[in-house]
Structure 1
């Protein structure tokens, strides 16, 4: 359970975060958190980002990168990229709980069909491209807004690698899966299944991808049992496309609720890492921030207590501990 003195701190936040605290931590009835979620489009982060949508339906004039992005310029220095273009902006709005009808009234799906092309080969926006993560986000955003993304769903199934996961570098010849690509692809398939019931092919692909991560206990190399990398238990918000044990555990929490299944015991060591990162005051601290231009700040600097990470970490542990006691 979240410490009582953290509740006022968590609730003193943007509606995009507050409604999730009400739903996931306080377990308020739907009437309470739905009313808070309805404010996201008119107050704070959601309202600010909606106001930045271009007349052509895009944000920053581009599908994945802003129109003015120079991969050899200052934006790309240090490995950063801007997080302001259309796909990232839609991701934020969807995750914050903005009502899709607001964007439908703006004809966002139609405008993106007419005006937005992927930077890769000038492909049409709702047709997807060759990157697994980009296609998975487009599936989620299309399901949310009512676009036809069935072809991209089929593409994700077809591009699952033999080891059970995915790798955005498949187009460069990679045949070994990436945890980053796998968690993002899984989120797309799960969203599709929640919205439509899925197909035999998508359900099989999802289960196989989950097994890929569970075989590795979410953070270990299958060959040696050692951690995949030093960053696997480091967390920073927003997650963007980056993998971590917290990002993965929150996905499996959602899977458990959807499938009505208990937590998988192979996650126990990953949960221990998440628990160890919790501070004595019950918060999780912001990790090393991912570089890149944002429209505006939505979380705290590195080293400070993060409300977003505290929400995520607390609901994961509450799910794990509550289900394990049954």
Structure 2
């Protein structure tokens, strides 16, 4: 694990970057999301570390401005969903998991997006498929009707973790159906033949941003059971623990992969904080905390 001093320095570097970051605006073309060194990724890393309050307020203001003015507020499935004016055509077309990550960062900071940007929660709740999940591929809504686990988790987390009141009937069904989807897939498996859909999901990564891994699914189910007062899917979580054992040490849980792996599909430039907390083989205190909470729920 990187030393606390190195992580502290890297946090300060991200804060300095965000204080003067200009790349909240949209850079059209293949790097529009600026993986992995754009402002959103610095903010997401701080959020996942529990350091969201360290984000400069000026960056929060710019982020909200982007969501208010430069995002097309409709998921484009049908022809009528597409923008028609030249101004609207220049706006960013978000996907479910991306939008949910933005939402969680700002809500954790203390913004009331349900008041300021109510369309985001409405978007997330609107796009659940019959199997209980979501999919960032529009064709899934017109053809297969099958969800993607990667697309599903951030929207579920957004509703579960950032509803500071009783869940509405729609939200309760949304969460329960999402949990059913994960349980039926045993976190990582195909419903058809029981095989692991993607073996990289067995290796937790940090920060995750929008990416999925088995611990992310386990933590959601443990929290869903607690917050919704539903039976804990004990066998699914125990199976998940068995799958994580190769990366478990006495000190905690090791990071098994990096979402930004140069040899992988999402390779790209990084920044000091991302490098400081994402080393493969490092015991991650952030992942370990989630794992311990799952284990505590199982013991209880």
> Is 1:295–2:295 an aligned residue pair?
no
Tell me whether 1:157 sits opposite 2:125 in the alignment.
yes
Shift in Å at residue 218 of structure 1? 0.6
Partner of 1:6: none
Per-residue CA deviations over 1:6-62 (Å, capped at 9, x if unaligned) read: xxx79x52697xxxxxxxxxxxxxxxxxxxxxxxxxx4343321211255xxx4513
1:49 aligns with 2:27: no
Match of residue 46 from structure 2: 93
Residue 271 of structure 1 corresponds to 241
Q: Secondary structure at the match of 1:284?
A: coil
Superposed counterparts of 1:157-306, under 5 Å = 157-170=125-138, 173=142, 175-193=145-163, 195-259=164-228, 263-265=232-234, 266-279=236-249, 283-288=253-258, 290=260, 291-296=267-272, 297-299=275-277, 301-302=279-280, 305-306=281-282
Determine the structure 2 residue equivalent to 1:315.
289
**CA–CA distance in 1 between the matches of 2:167 and 2:93?**
21
Q: Report the CA distance shift for 1:163/1:229 in structure 2 as closer, same or farther (over 3 A).
A: same
Deviations 1:215-255 (A, max 9, x none): 11111111111112222212332222221112212333443
Q: 1:292 to 1:260 in 2, by over 3 A?
A: farther
| Distance in structure 2 (CA, Å) of the matches to 1:181 and 1:133 | 5
Name which structure has the greater RCO, CA cutoff 8 Å, separation 6+.
Answer: 2
**Does structure 1 conserve the Cα–Cα contact (< 8 Å) formed by 2:97 and 2:155?**
yes
Normalising by structure 2, what TM-score? 0.74
How many angstroms apart in 1 are the aligned matches of 2:39 and 2:46? 11
Report the CA distance shift for 1:251/1:128 in structure 2 as closer, same or farther (over 3 A).
farther
How big is the alpha-carbon RMSD for the aligned residues of Structure 1 and Structure 2?
3.7
Distance 2:217 2:225 in 1: 12
Q: Could you tell me how far apart the structure 2 residues matched to 1:138 and 1:211 are?
A: 25
TM-score normalized by the length of structure 1: 0.68
What is residue 100 of structure 2 aligned with on the other side?
A: 136
SS at match of 1:90: helix
Q: Distance in 1 between matches of 2:297 and 2:165?
A: 27
Gaps of 5+ in 2: 74-82, 261-266
- What 5-or-longer segments of structure 1 have no aligned partner? 1-8, 17-42
| Aligned mates of 1:202, 1:226 — CA distance in 2 | 31
Q: SS state of the match for residue 53, structure 1?
A: helix
Whole-angstrom distance in 2 between the partners of 1:281 and 1:97: 20
**Greater Cα offset, 197-206 or 315-324:** 315-324
Deviation at 1:169, TM superposition (A): 0.7
CA contact (8 A) 1:133 1:184 kept: yes
Query: Hey, what's the Cα distance between the residues in 1 that align with 2:276 and 2:22?
Result: 18
Write the distance in 2 (CA, Å) between the matches of 1:116 and 1:260: 39
